[in-house]
């Protein structure tokens, strides 16, 4: 028992050394998004044409640009902080919405079987056969860009992944003795799903949601980069990157700093998701 405990503590320690610093990065970005009005040194939409394209650390008309300014003289640091709020909000809401829809449909397909299973899983196959970013671009082009529409589009394109995982997990749990007993005692299928099946598959769904979170951040940035996401003047990392590509040689900081934040956020979420997957997988213990 002592050797097993020692090996387990060693694995936890190694995992923390890898994930720990990136967990702090994620916490810092989340706190920056929550307290953006108090942390941002300037109004993110305030223009100062005399201070346009100023490099980091310079000052113009009494405004200190710690990370430089953009083409309209707006403070890049303030726009990055407020952009974190947009990226995290879109990712969180789209993950929650797609997770609820996909998990519900997947559990229904795995438990009810028959025509319900055939309709839901074939519909999921159709959505999965289309590249997600292409489907998102087409849908946004039809519905129009905007904060709410981006969330709906991302949820629409990603629910099949939750549905397939929930479907497979439900098939393995539906034949357990306690599920058959609840069914024999007259429990309705919604009650069986909520009380007996969902608690047993929630861990797997949480891992999928964690990994999907980073992907939602990238999708939102990609749509904003193409002009189909959150619309100006609302700060967005993707929109800032789109502007920065026009000034790569003369104002490198416009694209560099939002790109670094985007990279750190996605990397942190993916590492945490991988560690969570290992922790919740009994075969890895």
Rounded to the nearest integer, the mean pLDDT of the chain is 84
On whether residue 67 sits in a domain, the answer given is no
Q: What is the 3-state secondary structure (H, E, C) of 8-54?
A: HHHHHHHHHHHHHHHHHHHHHHHHHHHCHHHHCCCCCCCCCHHHCCC
Residue 116: the pLDDT is 87
- Greater pLDDT, 88 or 15: 88
Structural domain includes residue 150:
yes
Average pLDDT estimate for 212-234: 87
Q: Is residue 104 part of a domain?
A: yes
What pTM did the predictor assign? Answer: 0.85
* pLDDT for residue 184 is more than 90: no
CA distances from 206 to 203, 227, 275, 280, 283 (A): 5, 31, 12, 10, 17
- Report residue 65 as tokens: 């640009």
How does residue 79 score in pLDDT terms, banded at 50, 70 and 90?
A: very high
- Which helix (H) or strand (E) segment is 167 a member of? helix 147-173
Question: Domain range holding 158?
Answer: 84-284
Q: Is residue 62 in some structural domain?
A: no
pLDDT of residue 17: 62
35 falls within a domain: no
CB atoms within 10 A of CB 142: 9
Distance from chain centroid for Cα 258: 17
277 within domain boundaries: yes
pLDDT for residue 280: 65
pLDDT at residue 194, rounded to an integer: 84
In a domain, 195, yes or no: yes
pLDDT of residue 139 exceeding 90: no
**Span of 146-155, 189-198, 263-272 with lowest mean pLDDT:** 189-198
Cα dihedral 26, 28, 29, 31 sign = positive
Hey, what are 244's tokens?
Answer: 């920065």
Any domain includes 234: yes
To 10 degrees, the CA torsion angle through 226, 227, 231, 235? Answer: 40
Integer-rounded Cα Rg, in Å, for the chain is 23
Residue 183: band (very low, low, confident or very high) from pLDDT cuts 50, 70, 90: confident
Write the CATH number for 156: 1.10.3720.10
What is the tally of structural domains in the chain?
Answer: 1
CB atoms within 10 A of CB 94: 27
Q: Is the pLDDT assigned to residue 177 strictly greater than 90?
A: no
Of 186, 130, 197, which is closest to residue 158 (Cα–Cα)?
130
């Amino acid at each position: 028992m002592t050797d097993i405990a020692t090996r387990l503590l060693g694995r936890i320690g190694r995992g923390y050394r890898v994930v720990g610093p990136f967990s702090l990065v994620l916490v810092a970005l989340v706190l920056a998004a929550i307290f953006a009005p108090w942390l941002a040194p300037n109004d993110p939409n305030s223009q100062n044409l005399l201070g346009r394209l100023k490099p980091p650390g310079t000052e113009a008309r009494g405004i200190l640009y710690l990370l430089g300014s953009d083409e309209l003289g707006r403070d890049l640091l303030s726009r990055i902080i407020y952009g974190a709020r947009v990226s995290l909000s879109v990712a969180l809401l789209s993950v929650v919405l797609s997770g609820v829809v996909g998990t519900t449909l997947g559990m229904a397909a795995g438990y009810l079987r028959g025509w319900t299973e055939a309709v839901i899983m074939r519909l999921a196959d159709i959505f999965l056969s289309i590249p997600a970013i292409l489907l998102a671009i087409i849908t946004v082009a039809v519905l129009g860009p905007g904060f709410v529409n981006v969330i709906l589009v991302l949820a629409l394109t990603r629910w099949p992944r939750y549905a397939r995982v929930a479907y497979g997990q439900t098939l393995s749990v539906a034949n357990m003795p306690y599920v058959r007993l609840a069914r024999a005692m007259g429990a309705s299928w919604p009650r069986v799903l909520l009380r007996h099946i969902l608690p047993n598959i929630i861990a797997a769904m949480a891992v999928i949601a964690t990994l999907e979170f980073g992907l939602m951040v990238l999708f939102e940035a990609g749509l904003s980069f193409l002009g189909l996401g959150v619309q100006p003047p609302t700060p967005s990392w993707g929109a800032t990157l789109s502007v920065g590509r026009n000034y790569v040689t003369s104002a490198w900081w416009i694209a560099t700093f939002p790109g670094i934040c985007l990279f750190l956020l996605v990397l942190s979420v993916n590492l945490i998701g991988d560690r969570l997957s290992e922790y919740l997988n009994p075969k890895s213990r």
